[in-house]
């Protein structure tokens, strides 16, 4: 692919080593609109820079990384550098790509340009599909041991007065806890957080695992924009109100925390770039960052005092022994008084290894500490295991029952961020009750963690170990069978949840084979929505994994099932992710109708993001595919969406034509939901064309269908639009009657935007009736609600109504 280039003002003359014919300016990554195009741009940059060898690029990258303090085991290999230039990649190491760009053209502004282009091309979807944020801390460790000096230092920093530009008082404080894997960084941050919360110094808490060093390459470091999306939702901001850009999300997040005493724990951070947008700026906020690297260069976003960066080391011998005593206080020492010292030494004084061995001691009540020390010594003599973690994990694993060993191995293969008991039962091919018992025992032995109630994860070192064991002990066919059961579980559970939430749209979703038993019951809408919200990140990750690793039908089905949930919930990035994966999976299957469905769903996502040309392009690709498959419902949906996009672009006559064509097809196949939705959309176009009588006829017809189907959201929308039409006709009393019904329905379903529209409509109708005070009250309510949810157009509508009602008479 020939990459586009742009000349930069003031660029130096071409390097004599540069090949003849190479462009004078470096290629512009902003011209890339997809990952393959961006990789093509990277290849063009290599040529522009004189086409250095991959060995040379690798040496340059590693020289910079060594200077920045990276340990040798994290340095780049030639093969991974070569992979950055392969055009068929669907996943990319952004950290390494930026390092390669810097090695080829060391210019700060150009590197920032690449960083932005990477975010745009990747659409922040991979990380958005896998990041989970919490509004509480994980459970504290009952036997928390040591770190007294560090705790004292952190507590002092958390309460020290700091001068800020706004005046005196404790300003935003950031503390960084750095150290090797398993050193206890997260436990220290969580323990401190629980102490501060218990003392009443915190009123808002956030916790997120940023996955800076995850063992699974399919779970890359979390994108800041995706983390902010989760934080804002926990703060009560709906998906439709969350801005698209990273800077705008950071600004909104900081505004919400401006007057709060907030604790933000950013666990397992990869770099300053990752955490900088996530830092609150309000006086009284405390951010704890944990990382395997030193994190600096956070100014001006954060106040980072010279002693706010703690490098955690191994436990002292005394701390290591204390942890063993506190974790298993009743165990006998045995014949060797120094047995605890031997155990601590074999564990390398590493807190994670010590915790694992302590769990093993608790699980074997007949053993003394001496017995465990002897076993560790024996293991060390007969196995080539150098670290305490590996020894501890292997001994703990050996002492597990076969089902628990199998569960641990299979959990390591799960593609999502965490699991619940039903997913674990599917992996193990067992019932949830017995699986819950296995999980409790694995948790007691510190092999499984539970960051939130009912959610289970593996520490990245445990995951890496269990993954190795799976590859050694399980046949590939058995591993695939376990994953197939897992993906079936997510598929059928998602189908049940969608049936409960959107029963009137069941006929529009993929038809699955008969459902197997054992999945959770998701019969009522509230339970279904809670399940979908809890599993969203996992479902998107599963869709990605199945599309790329040999389960294309699962990807197509799952994306089709989730469409309405992601669309109505305001998750455009996740929607673009799953539908893009579904399109590729459909092409692998040679299923034209499935590909057209994915293209249509992608078009809706592009339309929601204001990319109308992209939306029209996707829809125009989908239309012939549906027609070739003789899929009339799909064809009708494409035509209806073309009508919506052209209406947004103010091409109302063209929009009306598309809507009428869609309506004909929905009526032909007796799709009543499609018919009513299209009538509602067509009525909005009729109002734009100043045809209120036509709009009223269309809406009354739609209202009848929605009521027959029990579709409350559709009924409320039709009633609101009828109110708008009656206002245009001057029939204000009729308008008020319809608005009142719509307001009741919107409030029942918690649809705040619809409520805002109705309140403004009521203000206009009441004004027409001469009820000035009531009209002012409604517009005032609308303005407050529109401001709370960030809907600028409804804010403007409310202010216009208030200005008209409060201006002095002429």
DSSP 393-404: HHHHHHTS-HHH
Residue 216 pLDDT > 70: no
More confident residue, 29 or 218: 29
729-741 pLDDT tens trace = 899 999 999 999 9
Q: What is the mean pLDDT of residues 434-463?
A: 83
Domain 133-311 has CATH 3.40.50.800: no
pTM for the whole thing?
0.66
Residue 513 pLDDT > 50: yes
The predicted pLDDT at position 60 comes to 92
- Residue 364: asked if its preceding bond is cis (omega within 30°), the reply is no
Across 376-380, 539-543, 698-702, least confident range = 376-380
Q: What is the mean pLDDT of residues 430-446?
A: 86
Element (H, E) at 460: helix 460-473
163-185 pLDDT tens trace = 444 444 456 888 888 876 778 88
Residue 555 pLDDT > 90: yes
44-70 pLDDT tens trace = 898 888 888 999 999 999 998 888 777
The predicted pLDDT at position 329 comes to 80
Of 10-19, 35-44, 588-597, the range with the highest mean pLDDT is 588-597
Q: What is the mean pLDDT of residues 319-329?
A: 82
CA distance 47 to 325: 62
Distances in whole angstroms, Cα of residue 149 to Cα of each of 154, 190, 198, 305, 504: 9, 16, 20, 17, 61
Q: Is residue 72 classed exposed, middle or buried when 0-12, 13-18 and 19+ CB atoms within 10 A define those classes?
A: exposed
Domain 402-474 has CATH 3.20.20.100: no
What does the mean pLDDT of the chain come to?
83
Q: What is the CATH number of domain 711-810?
A: 1.25.40.10
More confident residue, 95 or 501: 501
The predicted pLDDT at position 16 comes to 35
Backbone angles phi, psi at 175, to 5 degrees: -125, 135
CA distance 723 to 30: 46
Question: What percent of the chain lies above the pLDDT cut of 70?
Answer: 88
Distances in whole angstroms, Cα of residue 572 to Cα of each of 562, 578, 726: 12, 10, 34
CA distance 724 to 214: 53
Binned at pLDDT 50, 70 and 90, residue 6 comes out as: very low
333-349 pLDDT tens trace = 888 888 888 888 877 77
Question: What percent of the chain lies above the pLDDT cut of 90?
Answer: 33
Structure tokens belonging to residue 450: 């539970």
Residue 151 pLDDT > 90: no
Residue 78 pLDDT > 60: yes
Backbone angles phi, psi at 242, to 5 degrees: -80, 125
Structure tokens belonging to residue 102: 């810097």
CA distance 482 to 406: 10
Q: Which residues pair with 311 in a beta bridge?
A: 178
More confident residue, 611 or 726: 726
Of 32-41, 390-399, 409-418, the range with the highest mean pLDDT is 409-418
Q: What is the mean pLDDT of residues 673-691?
A: 91
The predicted pLDDT at position 392 comes to 66
Three-class SS of 643-669: HHHHHHCCCHHHHHHHHHHHHHHHHHC
Binned at pLDDT 50, 70 and 90, residue 777 comes out as: very high
Q: What is the mean pLDDT of residues 246-271?
A: 89
The predicted pLDDT at position 526 comes to 85
Backbone angles phi, psi at 349, to 5 degrees: 60, 25
The predicted pLDDT at position 306 comes to 56
The predicted pLDDT at position 24 comes to 61
């Amino acid at each position: 692919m020939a990459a586009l280039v742009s000349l930069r003002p003031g660029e130096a003359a071409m390097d004599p080593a540069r090949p003849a014919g190479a462009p004078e300016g470096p290629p512009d990554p902003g011209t890339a609109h997809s990952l393959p195009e961006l990789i093509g741009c990277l290849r063009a940059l290599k040529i522009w820079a004189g086409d250095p060898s991959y060995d040379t690029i690798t040496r340059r990258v590693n020289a910079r990384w060594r200077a920045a303090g990276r340990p040798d085991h994290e340095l780049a290999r030639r093969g991974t550098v070569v992979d950055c230039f392969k055009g068929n990649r669907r996943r990319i190491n952004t950290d390494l790509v930026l390092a390669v760009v810097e090695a080829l053209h060391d210019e700060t502004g150009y590197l920032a340009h690449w960083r932005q282009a990477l975010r745009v091309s990747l659409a922040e979807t991979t990380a958005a599909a896998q990041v989970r944020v919490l509004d509480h801390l994980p459970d504290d460790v009952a036997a928390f041991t040591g770190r007294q000096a560090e705790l004292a230092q952190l507590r002092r920093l958390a309460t020290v007065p700091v001068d800020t530009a706004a005046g005196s008082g404790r300003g935003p404080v950031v503390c960084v806890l750095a150290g090797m894997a398993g050193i206890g960084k997260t436990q220290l941050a969580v323990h401190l957080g629980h102490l501060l919360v218990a003392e009443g110094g915190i009123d808002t808490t956030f916790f997120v695992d940023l996955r800076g060093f995850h063992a699974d390459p399919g779970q890359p470091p979390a994108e800041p924009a995706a983390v902010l999306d989760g934080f804002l939702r926990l703060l009560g901001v709906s998906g439709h109100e969350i801005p698209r850009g990273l800077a705008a999300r950071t600004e909104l997040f900081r505004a919400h925390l401006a007057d709060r005493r907030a604790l933000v724990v950013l666990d397992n951070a990869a770099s300053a770039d990752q955490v900088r947008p996530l830092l609150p700026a309000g006086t009284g906020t405390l951010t704890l960052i944990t990382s395997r690297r030193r994190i600096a260069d956070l100014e001006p976003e954060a106040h980072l005092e010279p002693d706010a960066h703690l490098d955690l080391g191994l436990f002292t011998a005394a701390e290591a022994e204390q942890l063993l005593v506190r974790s298993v206080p009743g165990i006998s020492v045995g014949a060797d008084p120094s047995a605890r010292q031997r155990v601590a030494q074999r564990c390398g004084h590493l807190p994670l290894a010590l915790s694992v061995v302590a769990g093993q001691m608790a699980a074997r009540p007949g053993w003394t500490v001496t017995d465990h020390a002897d076993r560790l010594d024996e293991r060390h003599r007969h196995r080539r295991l150098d670290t305490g973690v590996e020894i501890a994990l292997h001994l703990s694993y050996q002492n597990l029952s076969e089902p628990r060993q199998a569960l641990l191995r299979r959990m390591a293969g799960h593609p999502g961020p965490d699991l619940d008991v039903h997913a674990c039962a599917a992996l193990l091919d067992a019932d949830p009750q017995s699986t819950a018992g296995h999980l409790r025992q694995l948790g007691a032995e510190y092999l499984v963690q539970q960051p939130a109630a009912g959610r289970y994860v593996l520490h990245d070192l445990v995951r890496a170990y269990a993954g190795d064991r799976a590859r050694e002990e399980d046949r590939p066919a058995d591993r695939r069978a376990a994953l197939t059961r897992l993906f079936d579980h997510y598929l059928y559970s998602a189908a049940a949840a969608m049936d409960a939430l959107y029963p009137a749209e069941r006929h529009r979703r993929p038809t699955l084979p008969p459902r197997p038993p054992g999945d959770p019951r998701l019969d009522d809408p509230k339970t279904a929505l809670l399940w979908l919200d809890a599993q969203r990140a996992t479902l998107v990750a599963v869709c990605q994994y199945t599309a790329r690793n040999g389960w294309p039908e699962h990807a197509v089905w799952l994306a089709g099932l989730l469409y309405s949930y992601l669309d109505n919930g305001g998750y455009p990035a996740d929607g673009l992710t799953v539908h893009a994966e579904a399109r590729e999976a459909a092409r692998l299957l040679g299923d034209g109708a499935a590909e057209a469905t994915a293209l249509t769903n992608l078009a809706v996502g592009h339309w929601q993001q204001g990319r109308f040309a992209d939306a029209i392009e996707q829809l125009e690709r989908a239309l012939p595919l549906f027609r070739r498959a003789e899929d009339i419902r799909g064809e009708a949906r494409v035509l209806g969406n073309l009508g919506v996009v052209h209406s947004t672009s103010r091409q109302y006559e063209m929009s009306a034509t598309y809507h009428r064509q869609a309506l004909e097809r929905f009526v032909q196949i007796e799709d009543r939901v499609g018919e009513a939705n299209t009538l509602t959309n067509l009525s909005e176009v009729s109002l734009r064309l100043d045809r209120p009588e036509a709009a009223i006829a269309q809406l009354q017809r739609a209202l009848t269908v929605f009521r027959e189907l029990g579709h409350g959201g559709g009924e409320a929308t039709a009633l609101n639009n009828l109110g708008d039409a009656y206002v245009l006709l001057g029939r204000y009393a009729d308008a008020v009657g319809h608005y009142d019904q719509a307001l009741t329905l919107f409030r029942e379903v918690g649809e705040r935007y619809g409520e805002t529209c109705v309140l403004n409509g009521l203000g206009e109708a009441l004004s027409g009736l001469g009820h000035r005070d009531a009209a002012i009250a409604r517009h005032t309510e609308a303005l407050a609600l529109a401001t709370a949810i960030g809907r600028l157009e409804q804010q403007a509508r409310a202010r216009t109504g208030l200005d008209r009602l409060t201006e002095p008479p002429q």
